[in-house]
Structure 1
Amino acid sequence: MISRTSPWARPLTRRTGSAERWRRLGMLLAALPVVVALSIAVGSGGIAPDTVFSVLVHPDGSEAAIIVHHLRVPRTVLAFAVGVALGMAGALMQGQTRNPLADPGLLGIEAGAALAVVLAIALLGVDHIGGYLWFALAGAGVATVAVLSIAAGRGGPDPLSLVLAGAATSALLMAFTQAFVIRDGDTIAAYRVWGAGTLLGRGIDIFYQCLPLLLLGVLLAALSAPGLNLLQLGDDVARSLGQHPVRQKVLGVGAILVLTGTATAACGPIGFIGLTVPHVARALCGVDYRWIVAFSGLLGGMLLILADTIGRVIALPSEVQVGVVMALIGSPVFVLVVRRSRLVTI
């Protein structure tokens, strides 16, 4: 249940009407090129900004041009795509479970992907990022199906059983993952970079491999978002208004699986985006999920780009993994949200 003090329970105000929503969306879109330019201009290589933009427009084969075109631009593009996926998945997960503290990881997606990657490294000798991608996506899918099977009831998985089944399955899968990692030193070395959540070393080829699945996930999210508004009223009310709750839940969980599974496969588990971004989106656009999902995607993409940029410069000449930076940013935001809003009661 959602408490009366929850921002989810507040009625839509005039200030978050359609015109105001479009204005705020326009402001975010206007800020996006600035965030992208900052990501491309800033890095541990110490290249002057004017040189960066010179080689960006006129690549001359120099070291600066190689760094910009083969390292910074692919990282920025992939960071935005992964952030969009995680932000949308977080909004959908909170709507599906009617729990504003829910996270896509509750479905076991990240734990399933991690176990599949470890098995691929330890048993099959997979040692490159492109190889991790498909194993991670398959593991995420199997884990999600297992969670849905455990939580399924006559009317489909209810929010509480889904959360409990996801938490139990995630704990079990992570235990198996740690068992494989501890017993094999080579697996530890190969897994720890991916497991920390990173964009380092990701070329544009990884983005192209992920793009069809990410577009599919965005399409499923767009189809799922309108029905979430009725699901907030409960399955019985939604059914009486012509909604099909089971079909809506399957569609939403499918979108979460594709979005989170692909993002996790590409960059490893990156936490807190799906947890915190929807709260910011809700503050900007109100309680209509058609807008929340769109705002969450845009905010998630921008936030991950900024987190990656910060990670490149806070520990020069080394880099801090983007998953670590997101934990540093997301943890205090999450605590603030919980303390200020007293969000849920069960």
Structure 2
Amino acid sequence: MKLRWTGLAVLLVLVAAAFILNMCLGLSRIDAKTVWQAFTAFDGSRDHLIVRSVRLPRALIALMVGCSLALAGAIMQALTRNPLAGPEIFGVNYGAALAAVVASFVLGFSSLQLFVWSAFAGTAVVGIAIIALISLGRAAITPSKLVLAGATINLLLAALTQGILILNQQSLDTMRYWLAGSLTGRELGLFLQVLPYMLAGLIGALLMSKQMDTLSLGDDTARSLGQRVMRTKLLMIVLVIVLTGSSVAIAGPIGFVGLAVPHIAKYFTGSDYRWILPYSAGLGALLLLLTDIGARFALPSQEVPVGVVTAFLGAPVLIYIAQRREGLK
């Protein structure tokens, strides 16, 4: 127990260091002293403006999006008892993408604010559709039904999104960077609009950690311990929708964070979700803050969308997890 608390404290220090580093490094390097003075003795200089208007929103978004996606992945793995589960399995990524494409192509939205909220609405609609689909009939919400429903809707939404983009070159040009997963060009005010949803999801996940720990033992065991399994599963689904939806709305569909980070957390904590969740939140934030720095220097002349970098790092992790799972059979 003491070792886990120590590890969590070290993780928080690393996240704080990565946050500061994220605001210092970029095409123009700014030392930590100047970053500090941008908040304590703002003078309107170029470096101070960059820190406050560009670097701070980007670092905050990386922090909260990484935290939210990692938590959503941990909840998905607890819900399905499947180590290969992640937020993408729900289809919320492409639900947000389809809603944003429709807003741009059909309704003619050009405002980033309307673009973000249409994406958020898409995740909510997809989440409700999945809940309705898996709740049909009298059978319980089983992991196989959950995975099948999410994967089916995900493929359908992906096909519809790509079809609309092919038909409309302007929408393709507008959305290409967002669909790759990007933290650039987001204003602080826009981030503050989705922050309450991220915080609500974070707090809700931590409060439900004990129920998730019990549910991971199996439905029958959870019922014998007095847990309302159906209600717990539905609440977990809602948390995944809120956490992933808010993240995708502000940063686009960034993959593999929700899949890989919970496995790293389990390496340090074991199978106790009361520790997996806070470790996942911290590790997700740390991963995306550092990945965002790497995305700035991946190419000499331009930035790479952070979603491309996470996919590059996450693909080997997915292969490793799949091979390890197959080897255990």
Task: Report the TM range for the smaller structure's normalisation.
Answer: over 0.9
Which residue type is aligned with residue 21 of structure 1? R
Structure 1: how far apart are the matches of 2:17 and 2:192? Answer: 24
Cα 1:49–1:230, aligned 2, differ >3 Å: closer, same or farther? closer
* Count of equivalent residues: 328
Aligned pairs for 1:7-156 within 5 A: 18-47=1-30, 51-152=34-135, 153-156=137-140
Q: Specify the alignment match of 2:179 in structure 1.
A: 195
TM-score by length of 2: 0.95
Aligned pairs for 1:302-317 within 5 A: 302-317=286-301
Identity %, equivalent residues: 41
Structure 1: how far apart are the matches of 2:59 and 2:107? Answer: 31
Which residue type is aligned with residue 284 of structure 2? G
Which residue type is aligned with residue 104 of structure 2? I
Which residue type is aligned with residue 244 of structure 1? R
Q: Which runs of 5+ in 1 are unaligned?
A: 1-17
Cα 1:344–1:112, aligned 2, differ >3 Å: closer, same or farther? farther
Cα 1:325–1:285, aligned 2, differ >3 Å: closer, same or farther? same
* 1:325 aligns to 2:323 (yes or no): no
Q: Specify the alignment match of 1:14 in structure 2.
A: none
Between stretches 93-102 and 186-195, larger displacement belongs to 186-195
Between stretches 292-301 and 128-137, larger displacement belongs to 128-137
Structure 2: how far apart are the matches of 1:133 and 1:344? Answer: 42
The 3-state SS of whatever aligns with 2:208 is helix
Structure 1: how far apart are the matches of 2:160 and 2:171? Answer: 13
* Match among 158, 170, 177 for residue 142 of structure 2: 158
Structure 2: how far apart are the matches of 1:299 and 1:41? Answer: 20
Between stretches 170-179 and 47-56, larger displacement belongs to 47-56
Would you say the 8 A contact 2:84–2:321 is kept in 1? no
Q: How far apart are 1:78 and its partner, in Å?
A: 1.0
Between stretches 125-134 and 250-259, larger displacement belongs to 125-134
Structure 1: how far apart are the matches of 2:160 and 2:146? Answer: 21
Would you say the 8 A contact 1:199–1:322 is kept in 2? yes
TM-score by length of 1: 0.90
* 1:263 aligns to 2:240 (yes or no): no
Would you say the 8 A contact 1:103–1:275 is kept in 2? yes
Which residue type is aligned with residue 154 of structure 2? S
Q: Which runs of 5+ in 2 are unaligned?
A: none
Would you say the 8 A contact 1:148–1:157 is kept in 2? no
Would you say the 8 A contact 1:102–1:275 is kept in 2? yes
